[in-house]
Amino acid sequence: MFSRVDRRLAAGLLVLGAAWTGAVLDHFERRRAESGPAGWEAPRSYAGAVEIAGAVSRPGVRPGLAGRTLREALALAGPLRSLRGPDLDRPLEEGARVVLHPDGRVRAGRMPGRRLLALGLPIPLEFATAADLVALPGVGPAIAARIIAHRDAGAPLKRIADLDAVPGIGPKTLARIRPHLTLQPACHSKERGFACHCEEGREAPTKQSPPPSRP
C-alpha cells in the first residue's frame, strides 16, 4: 500500500516528467523548423515566415516571405524547375508551408500549430484543426474538439473573446491562449496557405509573446 506521501511524490514526478517532455518536444520542433543548409543562420524573428520543403536545394523556414507568390518563394529555395499547379502566382500567408514534389507539382498548406508557436507565430483560429489547438497552453484534446465544434456551428467566430462560450474555457484559460491566436472572420473560408486580401475584422494576437511552455 502506498502512503499519502508516496502518492504525492509520484504525482509530483509525473508533473515534472510531463513538463520536461513538453519542453523537449518544443525544443526539437523549433530546431526542425529552423533546419537549413550548412552555413545558414537562424533569424531572430520569424515574422512573415513561410516554410519551403520537398525537392528544393535549400529547404527551411524563411521570414518575410508572406505576400510573396508561390513561384517567388520557391525561387529563393533553389533553381526553379518546371513547376506545375494553378496557384503559382498567388501570394502566400504567414505560416504557410510549401512543398515541391519531384515531378514539379506544388502544394501549399500551413505549418502545424506546435511549429507555429515554437517560431513565435500565432495560430489562425478561423481554420485551425484540433491537432493545432492542442499546442496551446492549457488546451487538451477535449477542449480543442469543443472549440472546433463551437466554431463550425452556425456563424463563425467574430472575436477571439467569443471562445469564452466554449465549455472548459474560463477567463484564465482565455487569457493564456489569446496571445497565441489570430482571427480574421471575413476570410473564414479561405484556402490554407494563401493570403487573404480582405483585412476587415482582422484580430491579431494581443501582444508579442514567447512560445508557450507546456504545463
Using alpha carbons, select from 190, 173, 189 the residue that is nearest to residue 181. Answer: 173
Q: Please give the pLDDT value at position 48.
A: 92
Model confidence band, residue 96 (pLDDT cutoffs 50, 70, 90): very high
Q: Which DSSP symbol is given to 212?
A: P
Asked whether residue 17 carries a pLDDT value surpassing 80, the answer given is: no
* Residue owning grid cell 497552453: 137
Q: How far apart are CA 59 and CA 36, in angstroms?
A: 6
Q: Please give the pLDDT value at position 40.
A: 39
The mean pLDDT value of the chain amounts to 76
Model confidence band, residue 85 (pLDDT cutoffs 50, 70, 90): confident
φ/ψ of 87, rounded to 5, equals: -115, 25
Contact between 137 and 195 (Cβ < 8 Å): no
Please state the pTM of the whole predicted model.
0.69
Q: Which residues contact 58 (CB under 8 A, 6 or more apart)?
A: 36, 37, 40, 52, 76, 77, 78
